[in-house]
Each structure stands twice: as structure tokens, then as C-alpha cells.
Amino acid sequence: MPAPPITMNETLQQLAERLSSPACLITPSAIARARDGQGRYFEPLMRVEPLRFAVDMLDPRRTLDQAAVLAAYAPLDGKKVLEIGSGAGVTHIAWTKTYRIEGWGVEPEGEGFSDTATIARDLIAANGLDPSRILNSTGEALPFPDATFDIVYSTNVLEHTNDPARVLREAVRVLKPGGTLQIVCPNYLSYFDGHYAAFHPPIFSNAFFRWWIKWIWRRDPAFAATIRTEINPPWVRRQLRDIGRSVPISVHTLGQDKFRERMRTAEVPGIGNLSLIAGLVSFMRRLGISAAAAEVIIALQGWTPLIVTVRRDGT
């Protein structure tokens, strides 16, 4: 579901009121800080207006759509949930209010977008919840004992971590037997990068990704250098096999099923130039080839995003 449209004469207060929902109150301050932080950073990369970026980033409806994807494998109601990379706190707030979860989050401070954790705590407090539930930590070193959570969740974070394999191991470690892990992230054997809103061939090295962004799209490749482009279906399967040697796990999906559904319905979530993808999928659907195209793309390991959904076995 797209975020509310922005009009030129609309104040931040008016925009915050329209963006807010019973699931999450959005404040003008949060919009302004997201606009002036991540929004202005990504403007030359994604070619998305900073306020548009901020509104989409803070839209509570997006996180409820994500909850629906997770709920196919693990109902959220009343569960103890950890979010790795809690961002601006919207997921933590919306899931706490809507599903009454016992929610915790980790978000590192002092690196990357260092203001994000502060935005999250302020927004959480504005919603009458406990901001101390967001801890200053990384996914590589989760500050929780083994088998703590019913659900561990993360979206658009794994590709930005220093050691994504270790993040996966830590996520399974803190998961209770019978619990569910879901990590949503790009697949770099796919054909579109959401950070730059740029088409690309399958990526087999970060050096090639940087070259492609710099010379084909004529954009600054500095951010591309930070992205873990080794993440793809074969890489994920290898990591899960390694984890499975010491912890019993079952793999529900890597996201192929949801990709088929989105190709069939032409419902493509995202912001800015991701509308190009939605338009392309809609065109294939009108031609009656979207289902066949989905199967070809899956056979080539190119579906996106990856929705890595794993159950920790045992009792």
C-alpha cells in the first residue's frame, strides 16, 4: 500500500496527522529528522525527494503489510519478538499496539545513520511505550541469552551488516525452540537494487557492483561499497546448512512463494523509482506472461526480495 501523497502546501503537522494511524502515531519531528537524515542522503542515489523518502520510511501501513507476510508462518499475537535493526521504531510500535507483542529491538548508535535510534526512542515515547526496549547493539552480538524470543525479525538490514553470516547465527541462537526467524533482504542475483533504484545484471562481486553504479548509472558508488552483495539464495542455503549442523532448524521458504504471488497480482511494495518495477510487472501481467516469467526468474535464482523464514526445531 503506498504512503499518502504529498502536496506542496502541506505542513509537517498535517502530513503527520494523515500518516498516523491507531497502530502508530507519527510526529512532525520524526518526519523532519528522517527527511534531513536518510532522506537527504539517499536523494542523489535513489533520485527520490527527501520528504517522500521520509514519509514512506515512517508509514505504519508498510509494517502491517510485513506482519501479514510473517503471520503466514508465525502468528504475532502476544509473542516475544526481537527486531534486528529497529530503524525509526515504527515496526516496534505498530506491532506492539496491534498484536500486543513483548517487543525488543537493537539498533547501533554512533555509526551509519546514528540519529535513527534517537528518532526511534522519541517516537516510541510519543506513542506511550517504553523507549528502553531499543538497545544500542548490533545483530552480530545480540545482548540476550539463548532461546529468548518466539520470533526474530529483520528487514532491509542484513545487507548492511559487517558479518551477515554471524547475524544469522546470532538470530537462531536467541530463538526459542519452536520459534520463527524471518529476515527480508535483497537478492543480488536479482536485477534491481532498491538502494539506488537501479537495474543491474546478477552481481557476483562488490567490485562489479561499484563499477556498474559508477559507470552505468553515473552515481556515487561509495554507498555501494558498504553493501554485502554476496547475499543470494546459494549463500543463504550454505549459511543455513552450517547453522543446522549445530542447531536443528527447518527452512520454510526463501521467498519464492511471495515472489510468485506478487508477480501474479502486480503488487510490488517499495518507494520512489520502484514504481518502475511495478509498471514492468503490470505490463507482463497484461501480456499474460507474468506467471511464466516468475518461474524463469526463480529457476535462475533471481527472485527478490529474499524472505528467509526458518523454524528452530525442538521443544
Number of Cβ within 10 Å of residue 311's Cβ equals 18
Assign residue 122 the CATH number of its domain: 3.40.50.150
152 is a domain residue: yes
243 is a domain residue: yes
Does residue 306 have a pLDDT over 80? yes
| Predicted TM-score of the model (pTM) | 0.93
13 is a domain residue: no
46 is a domain residue: no
Parallel/antiparallel/unpaired status of strands 102-106 and 134-135: parallel
51 is a domain residue: no
Does residue 274 have a pLDDT over 80? no
185 is a domain residue: yes
- Write out pLDDT tens, residues 159-204: 999 999 999 999 999 999 999 999 999 999 999 998 998 999 999 9
89 is a domain residue: yes
C-beta separation of 63 from 95 below 8 A? yes
C-beta separation of 302 from 202 below 8 A? yes
**For residue 70, what pLDDT is reported?**
96
45-59, 123-137, 158-172, 259-273, range with the lowest pLDDT: 259-273
- What range defines the domain where residue 282 resides? 61-195+221-312
DSSP secondary structure string for all residues of the chain: -PPPP--TT--HHHHHHHH-BTTB---HHHHHHHIIIIIHHHHHHH---HHHHHHHHT-HHHHHHHHHHHHTTS--TT-EEEEES-TTSHHHHHHHHHH--EEEEE---SSSSTTHHHHHHHHHHHTTS-GGGEES--TTS-SS-SS-EEEEEEES-GGGSS-HHHHHHHHHHTEEEEEEEEEEE--TTSSEETTTTEE-PPPS-HHHHHHIIIIIS----TTGGGS-TT-SHHHHHHHHHHHHTTS-EEEEESSHHHHHHHHHHT-----GGGHHHHHHHHHHHHHT-HHHHHHHHHHTT--SSEEEEEEE---
**For residue 206, what pLDDT is reported?**
98
C-beta separation of 204 from 235 below 8 A? no
9 is a domain residue: no
**For residue 72, what pLDDT is reported?**
93
**How many structural domains does the chain have?**
1
First to last CA, the chain: 38
